[in-house]
Structure formats: C-alpha cells, structure tokens
Amino acid sequence: MAFQTQTTTTRSSGNLPIALLLLGSGALLWIRAALRTPSALALLPGADGCLTAGIVGVLLALLHGIPYRTALLWIAAPLVLVQVITSELAGSSFLPVLGIELTALGLFGLPLSRLPRRRTAAAGAVRSLREAHPSPS
C-alpha cells in the first residue's frame, strides 16, 4: 500500500532581509578595500582557497536541502572565523575576502527568498519495517 504525501508551499521571505544585508555589506567591504589599495583584490593562494571552500561549501549545503540560515550559521560562520585567523597570521587584509564571500552568500539568498519552500507530510500512519520484513530469528 503506497502512502500519499501532501505538499504545502510557503514562501521563505525571511531570507530576503538576510540576503540583502549580506549582499550590501559584502559589496561595500570589497569596494572599500579596492579603493583603499589597488592591489587589495589580489588574493594569496591560501585566502583564495578559503574563499572557494566557504562559497562552495554553502552552495553544496543549499543544494542538499539545508535551509539558508542553517547553512550560514553552521558552515559559513566557522569558515569565516578560519579566514580571519589565517589572514591575520599571513599579514594580509581580510576585507576583500570577507566582502567577496558575503556578496556571494547574499547572491545565493536572493533567489532562495523567492522560491517556494516545500514541506512534505505523510497522510497515513508510518508503518514499521519490522512488520513488513520479519526477522528470521
């Protein structure tokens, strides 16, 4: 017997203010860094790798269905902390890296705030696998 699932869609508009804040602050940071020093956007290989890991990590989490806020809090925030520490140890400026990453994360959040969020709820009771496949012992 197949169970039917009901899906309800709601707009996740709570992501829009977060995405706009990230997009605006990120753009201001890297533009400020570029105006201050012309070579500020020339990143060290380590900073470039951290930037790639932060953006790709959040993107992969979003593709696997993790909510936007959770991906920012549990994936992006620890990686930003690692980027701050490594840029301080390397003696490079952290503003361009943070600005580029915040801009990318804000750009990820813009379409997510307009897409419907799907919730699935089982219509019937959940059966145990033990009843369907009894153990031979």
For the chain, where are the alpha helices, taking DSSP H only? Answer: 15-36, 45-63, 68-71, 77-90, 95-114, 129-132
pTM over 0.75, yes/no: no
Q: Is the pLDDT reported for residue 17 higher than 60? A: yes
3-state DSSP of 47-85: HHHHHHHHHHHHHHHHHCCCCHHHHHHHHHHHHHHHHHH
Q: Is the pLDDT reported for residue 124 higher than 60? A: no
Q: 49-68, pLDDT tens digit by residue?
A: 888 888 999 999 999 989 99
Taking alpha carbons only, the member of 80, 103, 99 closest to residue 32 is: 99
Q: 65-119, pLDDT tens digit by residue?
A: 899 999 999 999 998 898 888 888 887 778 888 898 999 999 998 888 777 765 5
Q: Is the pLDDT reported for residue 3 higher than 90? A: no
